[in-house]
Amino acid sequence: MYSLIMSDSVKIVFGDKSYEFPVVKGSKNERAININALRAETGLITIDPGYKNSGSCLSEITYLNGEKGELSYRGYSIEDLTKNAGFLEVSYLLIFGFLPSEKQLEKFQIDIHKESLVDEDLKVILKSFPRSAHPMGALASLTSALTAFDPDSVDVESEDEIYSAVVNLMAKLPILCAWTYRKVKGLPLNYADRSLSFEDNIAQMFFRHPTEKYKPNKIVNNALNKLLILHADHEQNCSTSTVRIVGSSHAGLFASVSAGISALWGPLHGGANQAVIEMLEKIKNDGGDIEKYILKAKDKKDSFRLMGFGHRVYKNFDPRAKIIKKAADEVLNDLGVTDPVLEIAKSLEKLALTDEYFVKRKLYPNVDFYSGIIYRALGIPTQMFTVMFALGRLPGWIAQWWEMRKNNEPIGRPRQIFTGKTDLKFVPISKR
Ligand code: SDX
């Protein structure tokens, strides 16, 4: 079988027959073969473990170019957005598709504040977790529990119902994230403060000490704002695809996001930011011998991987890693914090980028390589790093879920090729 890309179609010859399939083209000239009719016409399906070559949807939300290391949300570059916008503004852009006016943003913030209380019984659920529970497990459960307290499914045709579900989740997830942090630290839970901006309120719920008057720390809040924006969306990554596929069965938004939180937890995905710090700590405690760990990362017999390195799509620098690396220097400097693992991370990066193994495989630092160093400087425990990732990714998950539902996409149900045994006859247990 071979195929020929024409301008807007592909000819596939299989056996003694030839078939033609349309090619779709995106705003940045990306192309895909539309194989909607493939099985009906040829009896063939495609196989692509990990979907490395398969697109699941057409989307207007996020564009990334892995070869060039570019990332933009609704047409705005992340460099532009992290320099000029607030996280709530970027959330609005991702979810509704345009940058809000001052009035629209103010209304969004007021409507979110109105919903910024969670049912007190959620505290009972939080209390039932052991202090040692991983906060991502607690967050996934608490997010799913929101459905129990707000069971109305969302009529996606109704703009009002979607808006209220969006506002509800934008208000409640930050509270749940802050409560998982307070639980890990053994601190009393904070409530939202409606006099603060959305971004400052997040910091307040995390860091306000019950015995002191809360004073926003500009350095901390700016760093948090930048990190949340950089994590806000990333097209069809593992957790976003999970949110979409769960939502495609018409499960609710809260249940879909709860599934996305569980997918993000994995160390190959959002859990990598925790794994990076654990790796850097291990290298530090092992005498800082980075050559040894570069060799381990290259050794196929060794399960060790250079966490925070490599990416399914970026075969160049992850543009987020560049911004976070610069911010790490600034934040630690502004806070007067030194962290030996930052120097180890920089030396690892330098060595890896000149090593044939990494160069040949186009393995560069990704978003998770430096982010944990900033979270740590902000006093956030390692186990909480992926919760911070989930908090940032919330608007992206919402936007992608809504786009999937608005486009009335069919339930996600991949096919397979069966390779197991066939036509066996049952043998009674007495004869086995
Ligand atoms: C995120 O998809 C997204 O957009 C995700 C994300 C988002 O914002 O949502 O960007 C967030 O998840 C970032 C990635 C965080 N994960 C890590 O940092 C974990 C470490 N990285 C890897 O495990 C790996 O690079 C992945 C999982 C990120 C990507 O894996 P792929 O695309 O399946 O690539 P692969 O495993 O097939 O690797 C290709 C080659 C292999 O070697 P060969 O078989 O060709 O000899 O590169 C090697 C791999 O062994 N390799 C690594 C490596 N990553 C890949 N070798 C050592 N260390 C690594 N980190």
Does 269 sit in the ligand 1 pocket, CB within 6 Å?
A: yes
Q: List the residue whose alpha carbon is closest to atom 12 of ligand 1.
A: 269
Q: List the residue whose alpha carbon is closest to atom 43 of ligand 1.
A: 361
Catalytic residue among 233, 311, 318, 339: 311
Provide the pLDDT for residue 211: 92
Return the bridge partners of 70, or none. Answer: 65
Q: How remote is the CA of residue 164 from the centroid of ligand 1, in Å? A: 37
3-state secondary structure of 305: coil
Provide the pLDDT for residue 63: 98
| Cα-based distances in Å from 179 to 135, 215, 286, 346 | 9, 19, 34, 33
Q: Which two tokens stand for residue 426?
A: 């049952």
Active site residue 368: yes
- The Cα–Cα gap between 271 and 80 comes to 27
Active site residue 234: no
- The Cα–Cα gap between 204 and 190 comes to 8
Does 308 sit in the ligand 1 pocket, CB within 6 Å?
A: yes
DSSP string, 335-399: HT---HHHHHHHHHHHHHTTSHHHHHTT--B-THHHHHHHHHHTT--GGGHHHHHHHHHHHHHHH
Does 174 sit in the ligand 1 pocket, CB within 6 Å?
A: no
Q: How many residues does the chain have?
A: 432
- Cα 425 → chain centroid: 47
- What amino acid occupies position 122? L
Q: List the residue whose alpha carbon is closest to atom 45 of ligand 1.
A: 361
- Pick the closest to residue 202 from 396, 400, 394 (CA basis): 394
Q: Which two tokens stand for residue 19?
A: 């078939």
Q: List the residue whose alpha carbon is closest to atom 27 of ligand 1.
A: 268
Name the burial class of residue 230, with classes exposed (0-12), middle (13-18) and buried (19+) by CB atoms within 10 angstroms of its CB: buried
- Nearest ligand 1 atom to alpha carbon 310: 25
- Pick the closest to residue 256 from 240, 270, 278 (CA basis): 240
Does 237 sit in the ligand 1 pocket, CB within 6 Å?
A: yes
Provide the pLDDT for residue 7: 60
- What amino acid occupies position 287? G
- The Cα–Cα gap between 223 and 378 comes to 9
Q: Which residue has tokens 């808006």?
A: 163
DSSP 309: B
- HSE-up of 225 (CA within 13 Å, CB side)? 22
- Per-residue pLDDT reduced to its tens digit, 284-328: 999 999 999 999 999 999 999 999 999 999 999 999 999 999 999
Whether the Cβ atoms of residue 72 and residue 78 lie closer than 8 Å to each other: yes
Q: List the residue whose alpha carbon is closest to atom 32 of ligand 1.
A: 312
Q: How remote is the CA of residue 310 from the centroid of ligand 1, in Å? A: 4
Q: Which residues contact 41 (CB under 8 A, 6 or more apart)?
A: 19
Q: Which residues contact 356 (CB under 8 A, 6 or more apart)?
A: none
Q: Which residue has tokens 């933009």?
A: 72
Provide the pLDDT for residue 55: 97
Whether the Cβ atoms of residue 243 and residue 259 lie closer than 8 Å to each other: yes
Q: Which residues of the chain have pLDDT under 50?
A: 1-6
Q: How do strand 2-5 and strand 9-14 relate by DSSP bridges?
A: antiparallel
Does 234 sit in the ligand 1 pocket, CB within 6 Å?
A: yes
- Per-residue pLDDT reduced to its tens digit, 178-210: 999 999 999 999 999 999 999 999 999 999 999
- Nearest ligand 1 atom to alpha carbon 270: 12
Q: Which of 269, 302, 391, 393 best tests ligand 1's pocket when mutated (most atoms within 8 Å of CB)?
A: 269
- Nearest ligand 1 atom to alpha carbon 234: 8
Does 362 sit in the ligand 1 pocket, CB within 6 Å?
A: no
3-state secondary structure of 9: strand
